[in-house]
Structure 1
Amino acid sequence: MGRLQHSPVEYYYYPILATIGVPVNLLAIVVLSRGKCGFSKCITRYLVAMATADLTVIVCEVILNRIAVLYWRNTILYYTPVCRCILFLSAVAVDCSVWFTVAFTFDRFVAISKENLRSRYCTDRTATVVMVTLCTFFCLQNVPWPFAYNSFYRQNGLLLGCRIGSDFYFLPAWVAFSWMEPLLTPVISFCLILFFNAHTARRILMANLVRRRLRDLSRGDPETESRKRSIILLFAISSSFILLWVTTISHFVYYRCFVGIWGRGLTNPYAKFENIGVLLQLLNTCTNTLIYTVTQGKFRAQLLHALQWPVALTGKFVRHIKSILK
């Protein structure tokens, strides 16, 4: 909430993103939670967690942070204690969204490449433990963020706005945190997704038996069909994540490694490039539902059923009213 200049694109992009992101993630949560999309309980747990994290990013980062800065400056959201809380929740939500994708990728890596661990690790209980552990870790890891922000100014005794304090760029502890936080999310997570997907793809290509099973669907083996769906889903979600986060990764690597530390954070000659990366990474919160719809036939059927349900319910209500009036 500390930026003073905004691109004209942001005034339209963020409201559109929120308008699309909230309902599609809610639909994904509802449809997946029913457990009728042909996924195992373990995969369903990860997908629901990812959709919930994406929804939280839309609410905290897009609506309460970025749209609030653009349109709601004179509301309670602009009070310094409130916007500090929002920025903390936004950071946690983004971290969880990214690392839930890593956790799902690792789960599929174990399922395909580590047969001796598959039965013990790829379970609903393990997925729940992983999600809770990640949430707890990132809540603790992002605790310093509210203390990094100062207010813009004081008005009628109230502190308004949030901006990064100058100590953030010079004190050793803050400098270390400013390196650790983006290295963890998204640089390390990005590399892990690439690593796990590369080994999963290598395993699939080398295992002739698995390849034959994936191609031979005429036998109607439910386990084989389920594995094929999960692999398609894995690579689709991972590819989307990689494409939409690569700009942010590139900016971080170049800016931190090749631009002198003396200029870091105070002036950014690559601000437009950074903003493009932010726009793309936030778009990632809306793509998973589209991926499910395109690649998963059972999800499409359940989604269509969910969309038809309000219409059917309205029809029943109208018929009931007509029968009463008669």
Structure 2
Amino acid sequence: SSGKGKRLLGTCTVTRIPECPQESPEDQQRSECMLGYVPVIYYSILLCVGVPVNILTLVALSRLAARTQKALYVYLLALTGADILSQLFIIFVGFLLETAVFHREVPQVLLRSVSMLEFAANHASIWATVPLTIDRYVALCHPLLHRQISYPARARRIIAGVLTLALTSGVPFFWWSDMWRVSSPPGILDSALIWAHVVIIYFLPCGIFLVLNSLIVLRLRRRHRQRSCQGEGGQKVPAGAGRLGKTTAMLLAVTSVFTVLWAPRTTVMLYHLYVASVYRDWRVHLAYDLSNMLAMLNTAVNFFLYCFVSKAFRGVVRDVIFSLSCVLETRP
């Protein structure tokens, strides 16, 4: 049977009746989808849960940003907005509409345009976390400098620049080849795009997260040792010195979850490039589908991380839900 692949997700689709009774040798060698309707159900649930949850996160963070005037919430707002774009372009437009609903061939130009938008949204979602990480590093390791340079207006300019670069980086992926449908081995352009993608979405941001988070943890440990020495010497210790703050804990949680959820997809893409093709090996096909499902989960988990770490965020979410319920009750 034949079906349509997905450019960024690359996942299997609903089986349909072949238009031609005779399959070509290439079709006979194509790897089968082992998950059936599971991806359709999974992405539908992820979309139905993830988008409302991210909208709720957006409203709560907007209230916190207006209340506190902290640059932190500007960065978190940008991250949440980019996650919503990823869910709409990659899951809704790219997968559910393009492959699971239409059930027919889509014009190549439209496919490539959607692919470009998917990669742009994906890159924006990931790189929105980088300024947040840098801001936390400066706040903990260079507090005096942080007071001078960290304010909402500057954060908005930084986010605008980062998102512009991230969206522009999606343009070359207009020529991205669909791993599930292309039977030929990856060429020079395919290899260049795959490497560019894994560097942009994983190796480079994870490298930044690893270095800066390590420096943050080392600084906190050093402060903790100094606090212990001062306590033993009878000196007064500043409150909270050496402790892991809520904001830092939130940052470490967000970056750690991203690193874990995106690692399988990065591994499978490089395996496809150098070892076995998604098109021909059902095991690689299955691993690719599962790794994409894990990666897309990253767009919906931040709300729960914020609720777990931040009491202030939980309080605002509770107020938003209460206000919404009151509005609904007053309607005739």
TM-score by length of structure 1 reads 0.78
State the AA in 2 paired with 1:84: R
Higher relative contact order (CA 8 A, sep 6+): 2
Q: Indicate whether 1:185 and 2:201 are aligned.
A: yes
Of 46, 51, 64, 1:22 maps to 51
State the AA in 2 paired with 1:229: K
Instruction: Give the structure 2 partner of residue 289 of structure 1.
Output: 303
Instruction: Provide the rounded CA distance (Å) in 2 between the counterparts of 1:120 and 1:181.
Output: 35
State the secondary structure of the residue aligned to 1:243: helix
Higher alpha-carbon deviation: 298-307 or 1-10: 1-10
Higher alpha-carbon deviation: 239-248 or 276-285: 239-248
Unpaired runs of at least 5, structure 1? 151-161, 213-218, 319-326
CA contact (8 A) 2:86 2:118 kept: yes
TM-score by length of structure 2 reads 0.76
Instruction: Provide the rounded CA distance (Å) in 2 between the counterparts of 1:254 and 1:143.
Output: 24
Instruction: Provide the rounded CA distance (Å) in 1 between the counterparts of 2:331 and 2:97.
Output: 38
Please list, as runs of the form range in 1=range in 2, the aligned pairs for 1:219-258 lying within 5 A after superposition: 228-252=245-269, 256=273
Instruction: Provide the rounded CA distance (Å) in 2 between the counterparts of 1:15 and 1:210.
Output: 51
Instruction: Provide the rounded CA distance (Å) in 2 between the counterparts of 1:210 and 1:41.
Output: 29
CA contact (8 A) 1:38 1:298 kept: no
Shift of 1:27: 0.6
* Distance 1:294-1:42 versus aligned 2 partners, 3 A rule: same
State the AA in 2 paired with 1:125: A
Q: Indicate whether 1:277 and 2:291 are aligned.
A: yes
Instruction: Provide the rounded CA distance (Å) in 1 between the counterparts of 2:301 and 2:135.
Output: 20
Instruction: Provide the rounded CA distance (Å) in 2 between the counterparts of 1:39 and 1:201.
Output: 26
Unpaired runs of at least 5, structure 2? 7-11, 14-32, 229-236
* Distance 1:255-1:141 versus aligned 2 partners, 3 A rule: same
Instruction: Provide the rounded CA distance (Å) in 1 between the counterparts of 2:65 and 2:176.
Output: 45
State the secondary structure of the residue aligned to 1:52: helix
Shift of 1:313: 1.8
What per-residue deviation string (whole Å, max 9, x for no partner) do you get for residues 176-216 of structure 1? 2332222221122122212211111111111238968xxxx
CA contact (8 A) 1:148 1:164 kept: no
Q: Indicate whether 1:82 and 2:96 are aligned.
A: no
State the secondary structure of the residue aligned to 1:286: coil
**Which has a greater percent of helix?**
1
* Distance 1:211-1:254 versus aligned 2 partners, 3 A rule: farther
CA contact (8 A) 1:109 1:200 kept: yes
Of 5, 23, 41, 1:2 maps to 5
Instruction: Give the structure 1 partner of residue 84 of structure 2.
Output: 55
State the AA in 2 paired with 1:2: G
Instruction: Provide the rounded CA distance (Å) in 2 between the counterparts of 1:119 and 1:165.
Output: 55
State the AA in 2 paired with 1:186: Y
CA RMSD of aligned residues (A): 3.3
CA contact (8 A) 2:136 2:248 kept: yes
Instruction: Provide the rounded CA distance (Å) in 2 between the counterparts of 1:107 and 1:210.
Output: 24
State percent identity of aligned pairs: 21
CA contact (8 A) 2:277 2:284 kept: no
Instruction: Provide the rounded CA distance (Å) in 1 between the counterparts of 2:183 and 2:169.
Output: 19
Instruction: Give the structure 2 partner of residue 146 of structure 1.
Output: 174
CA contact (8 A) 2:78 2:128 kept: yes
Instruction: Provide the rounded CA distance (Å) in 2 between the counterparts of 1:81 and 1:128.
Output: 34
CA contact (8 A) 1:87 1:145 kept: yes
Of 206, 218, 230, 1:202 maps to 218
